[in-house]
Amino acid sequence: MVENFEAKLKEYARLLVEIGLNVQPGQTPSIEGFVEAAPLVRLCVEACYDCGARNVITDWGDDFVTRQQFLRADEAVFSEYPSYMKAKVDWLLEHQCPRLSFAGSNPELLRGVDPARMQARRRVSGAATREYFDAMTASKFQWSIGAYPAPAWAKKVFPDLPEPEAMDALWDAIFSVCRITGDGQAVRRWREHIETTARRCEALNAYNFKSLHYVNSLGTDLTVELPENHVWLGGSERTPAGVEFVANMPTEEIFTAPRWDGVHGRVYAALPLALDGNLVKDFYLDFKDGRIVDVHAAQGEEILRRSVDLDEGSHYLGEVALVPYDSPIRNKGILFYNTLFDENASCHLAFGSSYPTCVRGGADMTEEAQKAAGLNQSINHVDFMVGTRDLAIVGTTQKGKEVPVFVEGNFAF
């Protein structure tokens, strides 16, 4: 058993609600969990009311039910988005409800499922909920993602351990990288971490880079141009009302948006990618004038191609994120097979939508103005890891000065 498990779980719930969501009195948070995560969801509900929540809405999912639907439901189901579901999403947006969701499903839950079904579902749900998720990525309301390990995920991460021991090992890892010890001080430690990250963002913003050039021994040779008015963000974000929140728990990244039409060269993935309930391994992407022009993967290539083809915006990058190789998550020596954690163990990129807040004034721009400012738009957003021990990144300033940003996988400053 995990030492002081109950105390650590309560500390985790407080961290997610008080730092992740930062629930304000009178708000109505929405919590999305799967059935195995009920113990943590209940603690989060309690913590929300302790913060003065007016009400707490819960939604539940189940891996078995999800897989059965994708395998056996009528084909037409995957091209429909019921009006009652759309009405609920619209209500949550109208009332600016903080949103907490949990990662933790089997990374290969949908292995063997017809990829066309998954693509149809993503297209129809993405179109129906685009306004909601556009508002979320623009930080119009608080949102955060936590984790609760399902047994299948734990066995994937620790295949040589019996299931109970694998679960304990994964919980230990989650608590560790979230700075949870059971002493009740995780909230304080996270406030200190946020302050440290903010100082590094200030340093990057002061350089006002025109472009970044990535090189490593895998074969990556990629140039990423940045919007003229880009902003580096990390640690925490703020809503228009000034409420601070942390979108990913844990987070080690500092990120901004690339110019959607300013990416050139080839980039190799450094870690496998869990995508649509499948694993994509040993892949690279080729870019020309910002667009992905070629995709190759040793495993899961069709899944990756379908994600890139989801819409036109999926063919372009929407995020560039810096994470030191010598980070708390990487130093655990664990491949989590879960983007929430793996993206915080490695520099990463994302194809699909940009975060409007990554350009000054972007959150209040029209879609046309965002595109003109360099921001990509899509119903998709897929993070993939590119950081290696030997990754070098050189930034070029607006005046043409070259500045080392990463040397041997870590920040040069």
Query: For 5-177, CATH number?
Result: 3.40.1830.10
pLDDT value at 105 more than 90: no
Model confidence band, residue 131 (pLDDT cutoffs 50, 70, 90): very high
| Start and end residues for every CATH 3.40.1830.10 domain found in the chain | 5-177
Where on the phi/psi map is residue 264: left (φ > 0), alpha (ψ -120 to 50), or beta?
beta
Encode pLDDT of 282-337 as tens digits.
999 999 999 999 999 999 999 999 999 999 999 999 999 999 998 889 889 898 99
Query: Which amino acid, residue 196?
Result: T
* pLDDT for residue 208: 95
**How far apart are the C-alpha atoms of 258 and 85, rounded to whole Å?**
33
CB of 155 closer than 8 Å to CB of 111: no
pLDDT at 1: 85
Q: What is the rounded average pLDDT for all residues in the chain? A: 96
pTM over 0.85: yes
Q: Are strands 402-407 and 410-411 parallel, antiparallel or unpaired?
A: antiparallel
Lowest mean pLDDT among 97-101, 104-108, 118-122, 130-134: 104-108
Who contacts 194 (Cβ-Cβ below 8 Å, separation ≥6)?
Answer: 235, 236, 246
